[in-house]
């Protein structure tokens, strides 16, 4: 399952978010801002059957911390 997250209202770029996520040991989403500028500062994330619920929860918590 793929989904897009827009960071426009955070004041951070996707590059900023992805860099900060790496400090949490999490790989961020694919930066769409160059290929699809109409989406603003958006990232594409993908979750598959190899990801456990705990992996998704870890991503959510890391994003919350990065944006706090």
What was the pLDDT predicted at 3? 95
Whether 47 and 4 have beta carbons less than 8 Å apart is answered as: no
Count Cβ atoms within 10 A of the Cβ of residue 9 and give its class: 0-12 exposed, 13-18 middle, 19 or more buried: exposed
Retrieve residue 54's tokens.
Answer: 């705990």
What was the pLDDT predicted at 24? 93
Question: Average pLDDT, stretch 30-41?
Answer: 96
| pTM of the model as a whole | 0.88
Q: What is the pLDDT of residues 50-65, one digit of tens each?
A: 889 999 999 999 999 9
Whether 7 and 14 have beta carbons less than 8 Å apart is answered as: yes
């Amino acid at each position: 399952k793929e989904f897009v997250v827009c960071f426009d209202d955070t004041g951070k770029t996707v590059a900023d978010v992805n860099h900060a996520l790496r400090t949490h040991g999490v790989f961020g989403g694919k930066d769409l801002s160059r290929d699809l500028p109409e989406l603003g500062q958006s990232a594409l994330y993908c979750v598959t059957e190899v990801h456990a619920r705990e992996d998704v929860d870890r991503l959510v918590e890391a994003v919350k911390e990065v944006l706090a």
